[in-house]
Amino acid sequence: MNFRYIGKNVKIFDTAKIIQPENISLGDEVMIADFCFIYAVGEGIEIGNFCHITEHGIIQAGGLVKMEDFSAIGPRTTILAATDDYEGNGFIGHVVLNKYRNTQFKDVIIGKHAHIGMGCIIMPGVHIGEGCSIGAGSLVTKDMPEWTICYGHPCKPIKSKPKEKILQMEKEFLKEYYG
């Protein structure tokens, strides 16, 4: 596959399906597990260093989807950076003339050290803050704050996380990894 950029030690499992890899940048040590579906239309996808997309993960671009370093998405999680108009201002479905559609494209940013639990849905335009953890099964329709545990349907902030501890571990890890 011809990616926009691909770092070192990237592992893409055999049954992962990637459409338009030329719109995807992958950092070092990225892992894309089996049965993932990655559709990099529009602005494409940028995945930082040490990121993991686990089994059955779905990323559908349109707007930019960006996963910053050390972020991960859990099994069966869906990230959407585009949506059709469900209020009747355009057709929905496979309509070959775009003038009859009203598709919205909005960037999704997953911050550094952010983790999205199993079975979550991340809607277009959402920013998951640095160090934020999204609990399993959450529906994320708005931005979530940094260094916070969030969950629910709809997702909301619940309690804070230890920023200093994680950043110290990152410093130690990078020193050891890069020697």
pLDDT tens per residue across span 20-33: 999 999 999 999 99
| 42-53 average pLDDT score | 98
More confident residue, 46 or 89: 46
Residue reference for tokens 């719109």? 23
Round to whole Å and give the CA distance between 129 and 179.
Answer: 29
89-135 confidence digits (pLDDT tens):
888 877 777 788 888 999 999 999 999 999 999 999 999 999 999 99
- The pTM score is 0.94
Round to whole Å and give the CA distance between 31 and 142.
Answer: 27
| 80-91 average pLDDT score | 86
